[in-house]
Amino acid sequence: MLHQFYPQVPHPYRFELNKDMHIAAAHFIPARSAGKCANIHGHTYVINLTIAGDDLDNTGFLVNFKTLKDVVHKRFDHTLLNEDDQFGSEEEDSADTFPTTEVVARTIWQMVQSELDKKQNKPRCVQVLVRETPTSYVVYRPKEGDFR
Ligand SMILES: Nc1nc2c(c(=O)[nH]1)N=C([C@H](O)[C@H](O)COP(=O)(O)OP(=O)(O)OP(=O)(O)O)CN2
Ligand SMILES: [Zn+2]
């Protein structure tokens, strides 16, 4: 596992947890303007989740690292992202659902936060980093209004 430094997200919480994972997945961007990325190709995505909160659960966790891995890695590892319900695979689909790095990062935030919303200690996912290639990554940071 690659150990890297990530962009810091300012937040007011006492605890901050980070979970890294690698996901081997294929995708394509179904738009002529995507150039070579319109062809199916694969990446080893590097994902970093940042979770923050003031309170721990009754195990002493902000959230179990395994829960985070289950939500993201189990769902997407060794898949074609375009075949997942979360993403579009046709040029006529909304560009907002194409599995670009930006949309993948936002989608992962939505999935992780909806899992965290089930917890009584109410942790928040304050940053999702998705690295698609050694030279390209996106950081997604939710706004206050994005939380329930
Ligand atoms: N804003 C975005 N631009 C691009 C995305 C994206 O998701 N968001 N995706 C791609 C391609 O899918 C591609 O996988 C990554 O492109 P790129 O970084 O250009 O890859 P290269 O290896 O060719 O880049 P080098 O500069 O040679 O390292 C394209 N754009
Ligand atoms: Zn790609």
CATH number at residue 134: 3.30.479.10
Taking the C-alpha atoms of residue 103 and residue 94, their distance in angstroms, rounded to an integer, is 11
**Mind listing the pLDDT tens digit for each residue in 128-142?**
999 999 999 999 999
Q: Answer yes or no: is 148 within a domain.
A: no
Q: Answer yes or no: is 42 within a domain.
A: yes
The total domain count for the chain is: 1
- Ligand 1 centre to CA of 9 (Å) is 24
Residue 27, annotated ligand binder? yes
Q: Answer yes or no: is 71 within a domain.
A: yes
Q: Answer yes or no: is 46 within a domain.
A: yes
Q: Is 78 a catalytic site residue? A: yes
Q: Please tell me which residue in 16, 22, 37, 115 is annotated as part of the active site.
A: 37
Residues with Cβ within 6 A of ligand 1?
29, 37, 100-102, 132-133, 135-136
Would the pTM of this model clear 0.80, i.e. be above it?
Answer: yes
Q: Answer yes or no: is 1 within a domain.
A: no
Q: Which domain holds residue 31?
A: 15-143
**Mind listing the pLDDT tens digit for each residue in 88-140?**
999 999 999 999 999 999 999 999 999 999 999 999 999 999 999 999 999 99
Strands 136-140, 79-80: pairing is unpaired
Helix (H) / strand (E) element for 82: namely: none
Q: Answer yes or no: is 132 within a domain.
A: yes
Q: Is 132 a catalytic site residue? A: yes
Q: Answer yes or no: is 44 within a domain.
A: yes
Residue 43, annotated ligand binder? yes
